[in-house]
Amino acid sequence: MSDYAFCFRNVNKRHHGFLRDVSFALPTGTIMALVGPNGAGKTTAIRTLVEIADFDGGELTMFDRDVRENDTEVKERLSVVLDEIPYGDSYNAAQIGYILSGLYSSWDGERFQQYLQHFHLIPTQKIKEYSKGMTQKLQLACALSHDAKLLVLDEPLSNLDPASKEDIMNCIMQYMQPGDRSVLITTNTPADIESYVDCVTMLMSGSVVLTGERDRIMERHGLLHCSDEDASKIDKSYIVALRRNRYGSEVLVKNRADFIAQYPSLVPDPVTLDTLLIFYSLRDSEVTL
């Protein structure tokens, strides 16, 4: 079994979306959040990974094989849920299940029916009658019904109510139980998935600014609330970004343990992924951790 479900190595893409020397990898058996603001390159990265879009330079492998080899065996091990449903809206779920049963040797029709029932999707109802949330649930039902080893989800929780979001994430956690499966989820609202993910990669303007284990990334950052005067005394090498309000300054600091040792009277609070996304979006230049 490969140590990584996929690896980007210095991948560049210049047209129809852009990526700049993108390098990150998804360890087998983990869930990664690919986060960033709108236009950061998340969907471009996913479309490049699943060969909807080509790239100009670098190396991109899936299960240790070059994605450009058009390997049928690799594609059998991949499931993708994009922001747009790939099926004609005149079809119904039962018809789509029949089509997919001919495409995937590991298709499990019984499991597909169970997901349709779980998501309250009527097999004979045409997709054009579905809400946006229903189409997302149908795509996930399809993705989870052929024993894929890599699940790639582009904004799977958008247009869903809180209960449905939790239900979707519980389904993904059940999918992960065998231990040899991996998930990549893109989102611009990290709070929805923060407690579920093992790893995080953050994109800004087509470049990776953070990648690694979620807990390690969170531990190395802190959000400091302080006076403007105290903020002005902080060594800039610790500062990711700063914003001011009428009560003083908020400073996202990196290398949190070193910072506290250097400034024992200034103790930063723990951060969330939302906080990291907001403050990295504010910074002027790439920060090296």
Q: 9 - beta bridge partners?
A: 59
The answer to whether 200 touches 273, Cβ cutoff 8 Å, is: yes
> What do you get for the CA distance between the two ends of the chain, in Å?
31
135 and 247 both lie in a single domain: no
| Best CA proximity match to 289, nearest among 208, 229, 231 | 208
36 and 148 both lie in a single domain: yes
pTM for the structure as a whole: 0.91
Phi, psi of 258 (to 5 degrees): -65, -40
Domain-ending residue, one of 178, 211, 244? 211
91 and 227 both lie in a single domain: no
82 and 187 both lie in a single domain: yes
Domain count for the chain: 2
242 and 180 both lie in a single domain: no
Question: Could you tell me the residue range of the domain that residue 68 belongs to?
Answer: 4-211
d(CA 62, CA 71): 10
| Pairing of β 4-13 and β 78-81 | unpaired
Q: What is the pLDDT along the chain (289 residues), one digit of tens a residue?
A: 569 999 999 999 987 678 999 999 999 999 999 999 988 999 899 989 987 778 889 999 999 998 888 777 888 889 998 877 777 788 999 999 999 999 888 999 999 999 999 999 999 999 999 988 898 899 999 999 998 999 999 989 888 899 999 999 999 999 999 999 999 999 888 999 999 999 999 999 999 999 999 999 999 999 999 999 999 999 999 999 999 988 899 999 999 999 999 999 999 999 999 999 999 998 754 433 3
Tell me if 288 is assigned to some domain: no
The answer to whether 244 touches 232, Cβ cutoff 8 Å, is: no
d(CA 197, CA 19): 23
d(CA 251, CA 222): 8
| Best CA proximity match to 40, nearest among 260, 150, 204, 264 | 204
Domain-ending residue, one of 211, 231, 251? 211
225 and 189 both lie in a single domain: no
pLDDT tens digit sequence for 21-63: 999 999 999 999 999 998 899 989 998 998 777 888 999 999 9
Alpha helices in 176-272, H assignment, sequence order: 214-219, 228-232, 256-262
153 and 174 both lie in a single domain: yes
Task: Kindly list the distances between the CA atom of residue 80 and the CA atoms of 56, 146, 152, in Å, as whole numbers in the listed order.
Answer: 22, 12, 5
d(CA 272, CA 260): 19
DSSP letter, residue 191:
G
pLDDT tens digit sequence for 155-167: 898 888 999 999 9
d(CA 46, CA 34): 9
SS3 content of the chain, % helix, strand, coil (to 5): 35, 30, 35
Looking up tokens 């500062």, which residue turns up?
Answer: 239
Tell me if 287 is assigned to some domain: no
